[in-house]
Amino acid sequence: MTSYGDAAFSLFLRKAFIKAAGYSDDALDRPIVGVVNTESDYNPCHGNAPQLIEAVKRGVMLSGALPMVFPTISIHESFAHPTSMVLRNLMAMDTEEMIRAQPMDAVVVVGGCDKTLPAQIMGAISADLPTVVVPVGPMVVGHHKGETLGACTDCRRLWSGHRAGEIDAAEIDLVNGRLAPSVGTCMVMGTASTMAIIAEVIGLAVPYAASIPAPLAERVRSAEASGRVAAALAVSGRPFPSELVTPAALRNAMVVMQAIGGSTNGIIHLAAIAGRAGHAIDLTEFDRIGREVPVLVDLKPSGEHYMEHFHDAGGVPRLLAELTGFLDLTVPVIGGGMLADRVMRREDMHDQHVIRPLGRPLKSQGAMAVLSGNLCPRGAVIKHSAASPALMQHTGRAVVFESVADLAERIDDPNLDVAADDVLVLRNAGPKGAPGMPEAGYIPIPKKLAAEGVKDMVRLSDARMSGTAFGTVILHVSPEAAAGGPLALVRNGDRIKLDVAGRRIDVLVDDAELVRRAAAARPAVERPERGYAQLYHDHVLQADQGCDFDFLTAAPAAASDIEEAAQ
C-alpha cells in the first residue's frame, strides 16, 4: 500500500479517505475481499455481472468479511480490435497489478468471455493472493423452426448455409436474433465453457460453477457461496493460486479438456496459466492423453447438446466420476479438501445421455491431436473430434493466402484457382503476424465450392479458431510464419500431406529447396511504431508457450528459446 514514510500516519490517512465512502471502523477492521468487476456495455457475456457481484458481496458479508468492488479491463470476443487475444495479456497485467496495488486479503474474479477467465487466472497466479473464480455462466439455448440453436456453432453452420444460397436474407436475419437469447457465454463447448470447466477442475471455483446457466437463480446462489468461500480464504490466507496450479492439477486439466471436446484455444490458455505458476505444458503428453482419454461429453461442436444439458446431467462432478481412473484426485481445491471430495457419488447419479460412460464414449479418442512435421517444428493442433473422418488422411495442393486481409479479398473470387481436394493455407496470422492470432483459422469454404455442396476442406494456418467451430482445421502452427516458421515457405501448388493417425503435417518439398526458399525469405510483418502494440510484438511468445509475454512467465525457458537467444 502507499507509504508516506510514517506507517501510523499512512494508515491514518488511508482510513480518513475510505471513511469518506461511509465505512465504519467495524467494517474496516474485518478481513477484506476484493471483487473484480468486468461489467461492460460492450460485453453481453458479462451482462449478469452486476447481479453476481451483489451475490458475492452478500456471501462475503454473511461470513463476516468486507467486500470491496473494483474494475478491470473487460474483453468481449467480438468487440476487441485487433483481436481479443492481443488484449488477454493486457487484462492479465491489469488484474495482477490491481490485486497487488490495493489492500485485500482475498479476491473474487467474475468473468467468463473467452479471454477473460484465462486473463484473470493468469493475473491471480502472478499476484498469488487467495482467489475464487466466479464464471458468469453460459447462455440458455435459442429456437428456430423447432430446432434448438446455440451461439456460435450454429451461427457458423447456418451462415455457411446462407453463403451456399440455402438460407435467404430474411431468414438469416431472423436467425440472427435467436442464436444468443440471453446474457452469458456461448452455450456450446467453446473456449468460455472450456475455461470455466478448467477453473473448476483446477480447484479455483466452487462445484458446478462452470455449468450453471447465466440467467438461473442457481447461478446467483453459486456466486453467494463463492463469496462465503472467499471470506474464509481471507481469514485463513490459503491456499494461494500457485498452490493449486500444480503439475498434477494441470495434467487433470488436460485430461478433462480432451474428454469434454474442449476448445483448441484451451491448450494455449492452459500453457499460459501453467507458465505463470512456473510450469510448462508438454504437448507430447497432451497428445498422449488424447490417445487414452475418449470424448465423453456430447456437446456441440463435437456432439449434439448444449451447456445447460451438461449441467442438468451433473456437470463437472458427474464428469469427474467417469474419469477417476485418469485423474489425480488428491490435488487441493478452494474451500478445503481435495478434488476427490467433489466427485459425484454413484447414489446421486441419474440417467442421462450427455456425459457418456467410458464404455460408450462419443469419440474413441480425445478431442485434440498434436501434429509435428516439417511445417510445424514446435507443433500444431487439430480438433479431430469435430473434423471430417474422410479427411484425416489427405494429400492436396496448397492454395496460399498471405494474410487475413488477402483471405478476405480473394476467398470468394469466382476466378480463384481452387478445388475441393486442395489444402487452404493461411499464414502471417499468428501471435506476431496478425497480430494476436485472430480466429481466422476457420477459413471459409470458397463460395463457389460451397455452392457446389462442399462442406469441409483441409485448412492450415498459424491462427486460432473459435472453440465453437468445426471442420478439418489445423491450427497454431509453431513457430508462426512471421517469426520465421516454415509455413512462410509454402507456395501455391505445393503438395501438403496430412496424417492425423501418424500425427504429422508436411509439405512435400525436399529439404534443399526449403533451405533455398528460406534464404530468400523476407519478414512479412513490420514492427509497430508505439505503445502496447509494440510491446506485444516484441515480447509475445509462440502458441506452444501460451502466447504470454516473455517477461511475465515464471516457467523455465524452452530449449528452442535458449538456442535462439544464443544465436
Q: Does domain 28-140+182-345 sit in CATH 3.40.50.2300?
A: yes
Distance CA 124, CA 219 (A): 22
CA 266 to chain centre: 4
Residue 71 has φ and ψ, to the nearest 5°, of -90, 155
pLDDT, average across residues 219-243: 97
Residue 30's contacts (CB-CB under 8 Å, 6 or more residues apart) are 64, 65, 66
**Any bridge partners for residue 109, and if so which?**
36, 133
Report the percentage of the chain scoring pLDDT > 90. 90
Instruction: Residue 82: name the closest of 473, 404, 526 by CA.
Output: 404
Distance between CA atoms of residues 513 and 519, nearest Å: 10
Q: List the one residue out of 229, 275, 222 whose CA is nearest residue 250.
A: 275
pLDDT digits (tens, 9 = 90+) for 130-178: 999 999 999 999 999 999 998 888 888 898 899 889 999 999 999 999 9
Averaged pLDDT score across all residues of the chain = 94
Q: How far apart are CA 436 and CA 536, in angstroms?
A: 8
pTM of the model: 0.94
Identify the three-state secondary structure at position 410.
Answer: helix
- DSSP bridge pairs for 298: none
560 has pLDDT over 50: no
> What element of type H or E holds 254?
helix 247-259
The tens digit of pLDDT for each residue in 386-412 reads: 899 999 999 999 999 999 999 999 999
The 3-state DSSP class for residue 509 equals coil
The cell 451475490 sits on which residue? Answer: 55
Q: Domain coordinates of the chain in residue numbers?
A: 28-140+182-345, 142-177, 369-520
Looking at domain 369-520, its CATH architecture is: 3-Layer(bba) Sandwich (3.50)
pLDDT band per the 50, 70, 90 thresholds, residue 555 = low
Q: Which helix (H) or strand (E) holds 173?
A: helix 169-176
DSSP string, 22-59: T--HHHHTS-EEEEEE---TT-GGGTTHHHHHHHHHHH
Euclidean distance between CA atoms 564 and 567, whole angstroms: 5
Which cell is 518 given? 528460406
CB atoms within 10 A of CB 385: 25
Q: pLDDT digit string (tens) for 508-517?
A: 999 999 999 9
DSSP 459: E
For the cut 80, the answer to whether the pLDDT of residue 565 exceeds it is no
